[in-house]
Homo-oligomer: A and B are copies of this chain.
Amino acid sequence: MSIKDRKERDKLDRRKLIIESATKLFLEQGYEKTSIRNIADDIEYSPATIYLYFKEKDEIFYVIHEQGFDLLNKEFINHNQITDPFERLAELGKIYLNFALTNPDYYDLMFIMRAPLSEIKCHSKWEAGENSFQYLLNTVTECLDKKLIVDGDPLIVSMSIWSYVHGLISLFIRERLQSVNIEGEQNPNLLAQSLDYFLKTLKV
């Protein structure tokens, strides 16, 4: 059964080839401008071939969005050995903010665009998102237990913190912060300052 095995490997390899090309093109020129024909050209296959490996365009971008979560979770794991839960919470926020500013296209796909989630809608759950949320929920729960932040339901508090940072980032990424742009002040700096203010209000 070696031939069958090889064939399966080859199939996975070509699937990987499509994903890698799509990722490259996506990070270079964004979602809209990355067409099936673009990807097909890049990997030197016909557009129809891609549909032998993916049901639709959004399925490719679902995989890419998962890669984004892998990157984010890796950051969470790498830079988070802090024992004090509040400090860890602050660090979590900084990591999240930094990830978004460093990988705006990934962030867009993961948290703003409708594309990657269009298929999961009914039949499944948003696993990638739920996993990352756990990091936050755990730290928040610990903060609440040790009474380091304003009391509330762990889920509500976690959602609040996530919403806050996401709000900052998404307004920035989708260019709505122009109205708040003081002369000479860099936007990323404003974001960091805002996060500091928020943490100040949160602290008990």
Contacts and interface: CB of A to CB of B under 8 A. Distances in A.
Interface of A: 111-114, 117, 121, 125-126, 129-130, 133, 150, 152-153, 155-160, 162-168, 170-171, 174-180, 182, 190, 193-194, 197-198, 200-202
Given A114-B174, A171-B166, A194 B159 contact: yes
Stoichiometry (number of copies):
2
Contacts of A167: 162-168, 170
Contacts of A111: 171, 174, 176
20 contacts: A112-B112, A112-B174, A113-B174, A117-B174, A117-B176, A125-B178, A130-B178, A133-B179, A150-B197, A150-B201, A153-B193, A156-B193, A158-B180, A159-B177, A160-B164, A160-B194, A163-B171, A166-B167, A166-B171, A201-B201
A159 B200 contact: no
A62 B174 CA distance: 15
Q: Is the interface of A mostly helix, strand, loop or mixed?
A: helix
A115 to B, nearest CB: 10
A162 B176 CA distance: 11
Given A126-B179, A160-B198, 10 more contacts: A112-B174, A117-B176, A125-B179, A129-B176, A129-B179, A156-B193, A158-B180, A159-B194, A164-B198, A166-B167
A148 to B, nearest CB: 13
A190 B112 contact: no
- The residue in A125, A164, A168 that gathers the most chain B C-beta atoms within 10 A of its C-beta is A164
A159 B190 contact: yes
Contact of A175 (B114, B166, B178, B197): B114
